[in-house]
Amino acid sequence: MKSLILCSAVALLLFTACGPTLKVTSDVNKQANFTGYKTFALYNPAGQKSPVSELNRNRIDQGVIAAMVAKGYTQADTSTADLLVNPITIAKQGQNVTANTDSYGYGGFYRPYYWGGGMGMNSSTTTFSVDKYIDGSVIIDVIDREKRNLLWQGVGNSQIDGPIKDPDTKIPAAMTKIMASFPAKM
């Protein structure tokens, strides 16, 4: 049951990815010289579990492939590609707690050079609200195949709290947004 919840949660992240709640960050190895790279391959290490369904995993992979091709790279086999691209999905449950306090009563009064006390009547009410959500992330690692070092990483993160529509459009758009800062082929 927990696996099903996480699977749908990451799918929801991907569906909402084009909305205002998707936060995208990236980091690049400053010593990396991207001019020599021409080919790429998707790399999913054995044993790497994904909280998304196979359909959504295929949508993620196709979105990454489309983004790399749009940047001028050619898809190749994992044994010959210059770059290995590994999309990783993560989902975890989170919660926001909000407290609101309302005060009622009769306060004191102020006159020049004098402060008068209140009438001794005061009341306050504190209410707490707990909102649960799924925090979903897609991390895309781009690795130099020969040297096995990380060259670039893009992360898309969102709080997921509602139903989503049209995964065939929104998932590839999310992958494009996450990979926007990846250097184009020179």
Q: 171 and 153 in contact (C-beta within 8 Å)?
A: no
Give the Cα separation of 15 and 53 in Å (integer): 13
Measure the CA–CA gap between 154 and 93, rounded to whole angstroms: 22
For the full predicted model, state whether its pTM sits above 0.75: no
Residue 33 and residue 137: Cα distance in Å, rounded?
27
Radius of gyration of the chain (CA): 25
What's the pLDDT at 9?
44
82 near 38, Cβ under 8 Å?
yes
3-state secondary structure 160-174: ECCCCCCHHHHHHHH
Q: Which residues pair with 86 in a beta bridge?
A: 141
Q: Could you tell me the mean pLDDT of each successive run of 10 residues in the chain, 186 residues long?
A: 47 44 92 93 79 85 96 95 94 75 57 55 66 82 95 90 73 93 87
Q: What is the pLDDT of residues 122-161, one digit of tens each?
A: 556 667 777 777 778 899 999 999 999 999 999 999 876 6
Contact status, residue 156 vs residue 24, Cβ threshold 8 Å = yes
